[in-house]
Amino acid sequence: MVPVATLLLLRHGRTTANADGGLAGRQPVELDDTGRAQASAVGERLRQVPLAAVVTSPLIRCRQTLELALPQATPVVEDGLIECDYGSWEG
């Protein structure tokens, strides 16, 4: 039997833009207190999961989520994993 790979996708924790209903897009929006707690909580759930690789978006909110959830991970930053550019609608 051929082993099947499992892909886990993790969205960043809450930000002030999420809480306010704003469109963050590519803006350097950081996690708020709730988002930091969410990231830490998901880290508890993922602690025992063996991960072959960890890849992250270059956005600060994504990197913060990963740092809190999986502080032992050495992620690869993938520039292609970035939010759409919403132009003047952002912020």
Give the chain as a DSSP string. Answer: --------------BHHHHHT---TTS-PPB-HHHHHHHHHHHHHHTTS--S--EE-SSHHHHHHHHHH-TT--PEE-TTS-----GGG--
- 12 belongs to the catalytic site: yes
Query: Which position among 30, 67, 83, 90 bears the catalytic label?
Result: 83
Catalytic sites, residue numbers: 12, 83
